[in-house]
């Protein structure tokens, strides 16, 4: 009688018994900890288990285990310890005695018979040496963890073959050349060989003429009409598997396939040839004839061919063509008609699950679960159990499911590369599958697409995984709109208490036995040590900072009070890491309340909230549900009221982590403890209503890991209480080959009205578990992607946009007058990029302020006028006003030399003479000569009254774009830059909020100057000093004086009329022709003024001061004044070559100033812009 088509592969037995809902997938015997690779033992030496027989048709007979060893080996003291997979403990010890006799190739075997070797699976056997150490630990029909004895704590290795209850008496499972095969006729007592251990007929007769076609062997049903008969047939080899455990090849009737409708077939034309003796002799395309017995092996019709019973025919055969655009039939009957045939599937298949590529222990069978038109769905995520819709979902999954296998029955060795996944990070749930080469329709434990040769790593030539749910498609979350974003994230047992630091902890290890994560024996559940923790944390940080959320609920984070620390210690560590990555104090956490459950009643993991204080504030203390028996076996809900910053809108968020599904309750679709989760759901909604009422809050959001699919009773209980499930049809979790949502965000009626969008960010559940930190170095191919958000957890985060109700926003501060951009002759702000502006100067000041606030030491702020997009009007200033005026650019600090700063300022003028103004911060001033050649216009630069030294380094704060050389300021890119972590609008908004009231600064920070007379001359009384000045006023209605005042050495001299006409493209508004006649008082010893002549031919240095009496800008020029008897020319045209500078006397200090400063400046004259003491501030 054939075996059922629905027999599960050992992997399925593993996953169906797995624990679900604690952030782990582990065998039922394992503790709920982050899983990692477990210790496994497969003998790599000369002594090994070589043959097993444990079950057969009828009463068990001849049960035995064979051990192979080098001839002459004394196995006395060795033993075989039998283990029961139900519980993992041993049930019998079989001692080995005697010396191994010579057999084949210097090897021999020792056979131990034992009636009662258990079947029913999984069960296993450990080979133990004379010191009591396990040499290898093998199992059949699944894997489990040994408990007690020599295999304690070791995960068994499934041999990949098994004996069903229909196995003929006299058959066994045999290890041949390192690969387990069978059932086949036993060879107990002889060394196993590919030909069964006997001496084959040295000259067998070639196969006779065909007795049956392949279609006749297959027949119309699921059982061959000639099962058990020896037949001869022929076909073209379409696939061959000489390695990996299949030990056979497929043949197909010549000329079949191609453009046919599979539904019109009456029987399949493909057949599997099981023949370890001949598989190495054939190649794809050979036309062969075989003779052997027809069997049904786990539902697969095959012919067993011994050595000498295959021949390659030396005749032409029509080629076999794959059935094109193939879709696997819905029913088993439809699929039987193409079993073993070559096909090219349609491109409508997508990846449903990758767990069997290497998810747990030895469950690495190289298979990928596929679904037609989409992943398979958790039926209870679709409809309630028992409903017609649920039954339809079950049937739909069965109709769409197929497995992409790797052409091997053996598990993938840790020393090998993972099939398909190697070099293909986009092999993830939801990704489209494109078949580049044909495959075989195959049945081994389930319906498969089988490659035509074993896949041992990358398989890009066979199949492509691209399109759909790729990593690139999930680089960032989808926009959810709203004013605030609320998110939930299960952080995969984030523990800062490491396994290595807690006595009793045992570790999961990588393939080189390096510890990775905590396995059992203690309370921590996360990383084993700092190295693994850093791998885990970097991914979690990348994921959370990538959310763009304002409030995030966290599940599965360490409850540090259980380890003798502050309850929030791990939470604080995560926030610190998040802020270090963000480069700012972006995040804070909601502190634990004082009222908590008794310490003994708290779990080692907890719920928590983090939030961004810039956008939301906590309103009052958080609240934990206490004293409710519904949560005796789960984490208690945590509630927190949040208020949108600058508003009076508040909402209540409650984070949850219900009881997990794992347990000893049988194979229930909804998992274990469902009634407990229903009680928790009902208690939660009551708790949330009570907290909201006490806080006088209307809007309630319930979010977290509910361990309940969307149509299960706990989820429905929450909806029955008046909440809407906001999940948008996407899913957060993958389990047992199907997708569904265990994580949810629920909103009551008031909150639901504020929701603007929902996104489930597919960065975790879709990824292979091998990308997780707990699987680092698990195979020869590495799949961990350090520092990325992908597989930061096993649950996907959910984001919800919330529209804050329209309330009057709070102003940041106010302005006493407009802050405008510069204008040209039209007087429209923003039309002149070459002019100094009050807005630009204020932004430069804000940059310096924010840089200093964030721990930097900027000295000078630079702003390109081109980036300013609007003006700020007199009166209250709001965030939206700032965003309209200031670009979203990052603020950076750049270190440059004084010489480089000069070059930056020179680059304000283009080759054509037009100017793009750089606004500068308060305290920095510079003079320019608009008549000088391009590149030589900067006359002087000062910082806080001191001249800029060309060889010294200065700290400049500016935008990232400008620092990179934008707007033509390439000299700025020569410096070294560092981000402050702030954005330019935030800097301006913060600056205004800090000052509360901001007044425009009307003092000019750059002034133009062109000498008409000789700046180096020695002027005598009666001489005229002539200089033209520019840029003394702003251009958009700011105060303008009628004239500029002048003085020489403190003596008031002639005023200069001011021309406030704009010159387009320049900063030359506010021009004046300064003409000062040196007063006669400077020729009289003891005369008036700050600088007096000392008599004779003495020369002194005095200040020529040009002042804006309204706004306070002062230009100070140092000039040389001599008496009438000095060498100075009477017309002010002296050449500076005459005159004697006194070596002593009151003017000596000015002489020193001249020598120290003047020689470094153009024209040899000291020039300073400063704020008039009585001017505006």
Residue range 1132-1144: mean pLDDT, rounded: 32
Give yes or no for a contact between 79 and 128, defined as CB atoms under 8 angstroms apart.
yes
156 and 112 co-located in one domain: yes
- The whole-angstrom separation of Cα 1140 and Cα 1100 is 9
Provide the pLDDT confidence category of residue 731 given band limits of 50, 70 and 90.
very high
Confidence of residue 101 (pLDDT cuts 50, 70, 90): confident
Residue 545 lies in a domain: no
Q: What is the CATH number of the domain that holds 164?
A: 2.60.40
Residue 163: which domain range? 37-185
Mean of the per-residue pLDDT values of the chain: 88
Reported confidence tier of residue 87, pLDDT bands at 50, 70, 90: confident
Same domain, 951 and 834: yes
Q: What is the DSSP string of 1097-1131?
A: TBEEEEEEEEE-TTT-EEEEEEEEEE-TTSS--TT
Distance CA 240, CA 347 (A): 25
pLDDT band at 195 (very low <50, low <70, confident <90, very high): low
Q: Residue 889 falls within a domain, yes or no?
A: yes
Asked if residues 182 and 167 have their Cβ atoms less than 8 Å apart, the reply is no
Query: Considering only CA atoms, which of 119, 124, 164 is closest in space to residue 144?
Result: 124
How many Cβ atoms from other residues are within 10 Å of residue 816's Cβ? 10
Query: Where a domain ends, among 968, 998, 1028?
Result: 998
Q: Helix 713-720 crosses helix 674-695 at what angle (to 10 degrees)?
A: 30
Residue 1153: per-residue pLDDT: 26
Radius of gyration of the chain (CA): 42
At 28, is the pLDDT very low, low, confident or very high (cuts 50, 70, 90)? very low
Residue appearing with tokens 């045999």: 174
pLDDT at site 1168: 56
Q: What confidence tens digit (pLDDT) does each residue in 788-811 have?
A: 999 999 999 999 999 999 867 789
Contact (Cβ atoms closer than 8 angstroms) between residue 189 and residue 53: no
- pLDDT value at residue 1172: 60
> Do 1078 and 1070 form a contact (C-beta atoms < 8 A)?
no
Q: Nearest-CA neighbor of 339 among 238, 242, 436, 247?
A: 238
Q: What is the structure's pLDDT at 508?
A: 94
Q: Are residues 241 and 173 in the same domain?
A: no
pLDDT at position 943 is 97
User: What is the C-alpha to C-alpha distance for residues 1096 and 1124, in angstroms, rounded to an integer?
Assistant: 9
742 in a domain, yes or no?
no
- CATH no. for residue 291? 2.40.50.140
What phi and psi, each to the nearest 5 degrees, are found at residue 927? -110, 145
Q: Pick the range with the lowest mean pLDDT from 687-691, 719-723, 778-782.
A: 778-782
Peptide bond into 51 cis (omega under 30): no
Say yes or no to pLDDT of 423 above 60: yes
CB 1054 within 8 A of CB 1164: no
Spatial neighbors of 510 by CB under 8 A, at least 6 apart, are 36, 37, 516, 776, 777, 778
| Number of helices (H), then strands (E), in the chain | 16, 62
Q: What is the mean pLDDT of residues 969-987?
A: 94
- By the 8 A CB rule, do 800 and 459 touch? no
Task: Check residue 1170 and give its pLDDT.
Answer: 59
Let me know if residue 710 belongs to a domain.
no
Given a cut of 70, whether residue 206 has pLDDT beyond it is no
pLDDT at 477 over 90: yes
DSSP code per residue over 833-871: TTS--HHHHHHHHHHHHHHHHTT----EEEEEGGG--S-
- Distance, CA of 245 to CA of 409 (rounded, Å): 5
For residue 325, name the pLDDT band (cuts at 50, 70, 90). very high
Per residue in 279-309, pLDDT tens?
999 999 999 999 999 999 989 999 999 999 9
Q: Is residue 1065 part of a domain?
A: yes
Domain count, the chain: 4
Instruction: List CB contacts of 1177: < 8 A, sequence separation 6 or more.
Output: 1001, 1112, 1171
Residues 484, 213: Cα–Cα separation, whole Å: 70
Are both 971 and 1051 inside the same structural domain?
no
Q: Are residues 981 and 864 in the same domain?
A: yes
Residue 406 has pLDDT above 80, yes or no: yes
> Which whole number is the average pLDDT over 350-377?
90
CA angle 573, 574, 578 (to 5 degrees): 120
- The Cα 1171–Cα 1111 span in angstroms is 9
Q: With respect to residue 282, please indicate whether it lies within any of the assigned structural domains.
A: yes
Identify the weakest region by mean pLDDT among 128-137, 341-350, 600-609: 128-137
| Rounded-to-integer distance, Cα 1032 and Cα 1061, Å | 11
> pLDDT tens-digit profile of 624-671?
999 999 999 999 999 999 999 989 999 999 999 999 999 989 889 999
425-452 core/surface letters (b: 16 or more CB in 10 A; e: else): bbbbbbbbbebeebbbbbbbbbbbbbbb
- The SS3 of residue 703 is strand
Find the largest Cα–Cα distance for the chain. 139
The pLDDT score that the predictor gives to residue 1084 is 56
Contact (CB, 8 A) for 1005 and 841? yes
Q: Which two tokens stand for residue 1031?
A: 């840029």
Torsions phi, psi of 835, nearest 5?
A: -105, 150
Q: Are residues 301 and 252 in the same domain?
A: yes
pLDDT(30) > 70: no
Do 952 and 1079 lie in one domain? The reply is: no
**How far apart, in whole angstroms, are the C-alpha atoms of residue 1034 and residue 224?**
98
Side-chain half-sphere CA neighbours of 608 within 13 A = 29
Q: Is the pLDDT of residue 459 over 90?
A: yes
In contact, 97 and 119? CB cutoff 8 Å:
no
Most confident of 77-86, 356-365, 1089-1098: 77-86
CA distance 1078 to 1127: 15
CA distance 1125 to 1022: 13
The whole-angstrom separation of Cα 766 and Cα 469 is 8
How much is the pLDDT for 408? 94
d(CA 73, CA 101): 8
Residue 14 pLDDT exceeds 50: no
Q: Is residue 1127 part of a domain?
A: yes
In Å, how far are 788, 1060, 1075 from 1053, measured between CA atoms? 71, 22, 9
Express each pLDDT in 59-73 by its tens digit.
Answer: 888 999 999 999 889
Tell which residue, 442, 434, 315, 418, has the closest CA to residue 5: 442
Nearest Cα residue to 15 out of 712, 791, 738: 738
- pLDDT of 416 above 90: yes
Residue 445 in domain: no
Band of pLDDT at residue 207, cut at 50, 70 and 90: low
CB proximity list for 891: less than 8 A, separation 6 or greater: 847, 850, 851, 957, 958, 959, 960, 979, 980, 982, 983, 984, 987
Report pLDDT for 199.
42
Per-residue model confidence (pLDDT) at position 1150 = 23
Q: The dihedral of CA 740, 742, 743, 748: what is its sign?
A: positive
Say yes or no: 269 and 181 in one domain: no
Beta carbons of 423 and 460 less than 8 angstroms apart: yes
Please tell me whether residue 798 adopts helix, strand or coil conformation. strand
Rounded to an integer, what distance in angstroms lies between the CA atom of residue 340 and that of residue 233?
Answer: 15
Q: Which residue has the higher pLDDT, 589 or 913?
A: 589
* Gap between the Cα atoms of 984 and 847, Å rounded: 7
The CA distance from 427 to 768, in Å, is 8
**Do 859 and 961 fall within a single domain?**
yes
Instruction: Specify the higher pLDDT residue, 362 or 854.
Output: 854
Region class of 944: left (phi > 0), else alpha (psi between -120 and 50), else beta: left
CA 291 to CA 984: how far, in whole Å? 81
Percent of the chain with pLDDT over 70: 89
The two structure tokens encoding residue 161? 């073959």
Residue 1066 pLDDT: 85
Give the DSSP H or E segment for 880. Answer: helix 879-885
DSSP, collapsed to helix, strand or coil, labels residue 889 as coil
Residue 595 binned pLDDT confidence (cut-offs 50, 70, 90)? very high
Are 994 and 1014 part of one and the same domain? Answer: no
- In whole angstroms, give the CA distance from residue 364 to residue 1064: 74
Which run of H or of E encompasses 802? strand 798-802
994 and 1010: one domain?
no
Give yes or no for a cis peptide into 183 (omega within 30° of 0).
yes
Task: Give the domain-ending residue among 998, 1018, 1039.
Answer: 998
What are the tens digits of pLDDT across the range 995-1022? 999 999 999 999 999 999 999 999 999 9
Which CATH number does the domain housing residue 831 bear?
A: 3.90.780.10
Segment 85-103 shows an average pLDDT of 88
Helix, strand, coil abundance in the chain, percent, nearest 5: 20, 30, 50
Mean pLDDT of 248-262: 97
Q: How confident is the model at residue 1140 (pLDDT cuts 50, 70, 90)?
A: very low
Instruction: State yes or no: pLDDT of 13 exceeds 60.
Output: no
d(Cα 3, Cα 1) in Å, to the nearest integer? 7
Q: For 112-126, how does the pLDDT look when each residue is reduced to its tens digit (9 = 90+)?
A: 999 989 987 799 999
| Whole-number pLDDT of residue 5 | 29
- Higher pLDDT, residue 563 or 1095: 563
Residue 510's pLDDT band (cuts 50, 70, 90)? very high
Can you give the pLDDT at residue 158?
85
Per-residue tokens: 754: 């504020």
Tell me which H or E stretch contains 1150: helix 1148-1157
pLDDT number for residue 934: 94
Looking at 321, 341, 373, the residue that finishes a domain is 321
Same domain? For 857 and 979 the reply is yes
Q: Under DSSP, is residue 425 helix (H, G, I), strand (E, B) or coil?
A: coil
């Amino acid at each position: 009688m054939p075996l059922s088509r629905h027999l599960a592969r050992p992997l399925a037995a593993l996953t169906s018994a797995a624990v679900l809902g604690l952030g782990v997938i582990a065998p039922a015997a394992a503790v709920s900890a982050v899983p990692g690779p477990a210790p496994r033992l497969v003998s790599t030496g000369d002594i090994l288990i070589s043959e097993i027989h444990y079950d057969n048709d009828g009463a068990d007979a001849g049960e035995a285990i064979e051990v192979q060893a080098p001839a002459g080996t004394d196995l006395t003291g060795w033993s075989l310890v039998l283990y029961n997979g139900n519980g993992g403990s041993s049930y019998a010890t079989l001692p080995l005695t005697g010396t191994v006799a010579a057999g084949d190739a210097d090897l021999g075997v020792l056979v131990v018979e034992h009636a009662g070797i258990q079947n029913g699976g999984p069960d296993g056997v450990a080979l133990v040496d004379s010191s009591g150490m396990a040499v290898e630990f093998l199992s059949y029909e699944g894997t489990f963890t040994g408990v007690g004895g020599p295999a304690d704590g070791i995960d068994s290795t499934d041999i990949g073959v098994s004996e069903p209850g229909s196995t003929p008496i006299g058959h066994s499972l045999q290890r041949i050349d390192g690969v387990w095969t069978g059932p086949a006729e036993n060879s107990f007592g002889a060394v196993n060989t590919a030909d069964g251990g006997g001496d084959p007929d040295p000259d067998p007769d070639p196969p006779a003429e065909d007795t049956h076609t392949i279609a006749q062997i297959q027949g119309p049903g699921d059982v061959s009409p000639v099962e058990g008969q020896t037949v001869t047939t022929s076909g073209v080899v379409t696939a061959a598997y000489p390695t990996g455990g299949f030990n056979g090849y497929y043949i197909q009737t010549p000329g079949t396939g191609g453009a046919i409708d599979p539904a019109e077939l009456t029987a399949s034309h493909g057949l599997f040839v099981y023949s370890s003796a001949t598989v190495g002799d054939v190649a794809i395309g050979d036309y062969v004839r075989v003779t052997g017995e027809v069997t049904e092996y786990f539902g697969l019709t095959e012919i067993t061919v011994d050595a000498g019973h295959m021949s390659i025919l030396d005749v032409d055969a029509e080629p076999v063509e794959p059935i094109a655009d193939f879709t696997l039939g819905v029913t088993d009957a439809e699929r039987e008609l193409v079993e073993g045939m070559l096909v090219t599937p349609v491109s409508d298949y997508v990846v449903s699950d990758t767990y069997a590529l290497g998810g747990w222990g030895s469950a690495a069978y190289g298979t990928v679960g596929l679904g037609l038109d989409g992943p398979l769905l958790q039926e209870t995520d679709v409809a309630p159990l028992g409903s017609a819709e649920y039954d339809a979902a079950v049937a739909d999954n069965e109709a769409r499911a197929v497995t992409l296998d790797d052409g091997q029955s053996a598990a993938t060795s840790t020393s090998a590369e993972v099939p398909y996944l190697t070099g293909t990070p986009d092999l993830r749930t939801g990704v489209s599958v494109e078949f580049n080469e044909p495959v075989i329709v195959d049945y081994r434990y389930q319906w498969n697409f089988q490659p035509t040769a074993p896949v041992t790593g990358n398989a890009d030539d066979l199949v492509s995984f691209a399109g759909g749910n790729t990593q690139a498609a999930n680089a960032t979350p989808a926009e959810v709109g709203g004013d605030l974003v609320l998110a939930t994230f299960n952080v995969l047992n984030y523990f800062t208490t490491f396994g290595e630091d807690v006595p009793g902890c045992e570790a999961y290890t990588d393939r080189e036995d390096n510890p990775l994560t905590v396995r059992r024996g203690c309370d921590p559940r996360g990383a084993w040590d700092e190295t693994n923790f850093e791998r885990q944390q970097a991914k979690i940080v990348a994921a959370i900072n990538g959310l763009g959320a304002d409030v995030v609920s966290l599940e599965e984070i360490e409850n540090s009070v259980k380890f003798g620390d502050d309850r929030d210690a791990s939470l604080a560590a995560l926030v610190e890491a998040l802020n270090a990555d963000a480069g700012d104090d972006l995040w804070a956490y909601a502190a634990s309340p004082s009222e908590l459950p008794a310490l003994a009643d708290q779990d080692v993991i907890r719920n928590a909230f983090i939030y961004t204080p810039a956008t939301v504030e906590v309103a009052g203390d958080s609240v934990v549900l206490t004293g409710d028996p519904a949560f005796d076996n789960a984490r208690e809900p945590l509630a927190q009221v949040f208020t949108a910053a600058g508003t009076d809108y508040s909402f209540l968020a409650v984070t949850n982590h219900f009881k997990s599904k794992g347990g000893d309750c049988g194979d229930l679709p909804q998992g274990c403890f469902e009634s407990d989760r229903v009680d928790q759901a009902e208690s939660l909604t009551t708790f949330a209503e009570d907290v909201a009422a006490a806080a006088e809050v209307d809007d309630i959001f319930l979010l977290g890991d509910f361990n309940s699919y969307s149509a299960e009773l706990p989820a429905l209980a929450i909806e029955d209480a008046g909440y809407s499930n906001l999940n948008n049809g996407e899913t957060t979790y993958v389990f047992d080959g199907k997708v569904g949502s265990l994580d949810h965000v629920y909103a009551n009626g008031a909150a639901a009205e504020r929701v603007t969008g929902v996104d489930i960010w597919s960065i975790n559940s879709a990824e292979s578990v091998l990308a997780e930190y707990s699987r680092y170095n698990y195979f020869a191919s590495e799949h961990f992607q350090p520092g990325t958000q992908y597989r930061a957890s096993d649950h996907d985060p959910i984001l919800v946009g919330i529209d804050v109700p329209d309330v009057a926003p709070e102003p940041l501060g106010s302005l006493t007058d407009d802050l405008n951009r510069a204008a040209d002759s039209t007087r429209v702000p923003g039309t002149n990029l070459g002019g100094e502006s009050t807005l630009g100067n204020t932004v430069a000041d804000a940059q310096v302020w924010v840089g200093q606030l964030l721990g930097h030491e900027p000295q000078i702020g630079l702003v390109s006028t081109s980036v300013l997009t609007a003006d700020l009007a007199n009166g209250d200033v709001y965030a939206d006003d700032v965003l309209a005026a200031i670009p979203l650019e990052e603020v950076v600090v750049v270190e440059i030399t004084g010489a480089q700063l000069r070059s930056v300022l020179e680059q304000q003028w283009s080759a054509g003479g037009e100017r793009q103004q750089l606004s500068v911060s308060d305290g920095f001033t510079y003079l320019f000569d608009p008549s000088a050649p391009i590149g030589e216009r900067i006359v002087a630069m000062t910082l806080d009254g001191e001249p800029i030294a060309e060889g010294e380094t200065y700290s400049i704060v500016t935008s990232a774009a400008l620092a990179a050389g934008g707007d033509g300021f390439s000299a700025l890119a020569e410096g070294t830059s560092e981000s402050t972590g702030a954005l330019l609008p935030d800097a301006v908004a913060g600056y205004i909020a800090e000052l509360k009231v901001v007044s425009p600064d009307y003092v000019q920070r750059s002034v133009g100057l062109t000498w008409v007379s000789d700046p180096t001359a020695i002027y005598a009384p009666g001489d005229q000093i002539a200089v033209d000045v520019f840029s003394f006023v702003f251009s958009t209605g700011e105060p303008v004086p009628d004239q500029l005042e002048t003085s020489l050495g403190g003596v008031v001299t002639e005023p200069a009329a001011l021309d406030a006409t704009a010159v387009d493209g320049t900063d030359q508004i506010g021009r004046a022709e300064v003409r000062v006649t040196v007063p006669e008082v400077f020729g009289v010893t003891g005369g008036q003024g700050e600088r007096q002549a000392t008599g004779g031919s003495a020369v002194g240095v005095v200040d020529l001061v040009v002042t804006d009496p309204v706004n306070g800008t002062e230009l100070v020029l140092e000039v040389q004044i001599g008496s009438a008897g000095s060498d100075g020319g009477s017309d002010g045209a002296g050449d500076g070559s005459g005159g004697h500078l006194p070596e002593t006397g009151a003017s000596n200090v000015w002489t020193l100033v001249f020598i120290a400063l003047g020689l470094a400046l153009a024209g040899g004259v000291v020039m300073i812009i400063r704020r008039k003491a009585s001017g505006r501030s």
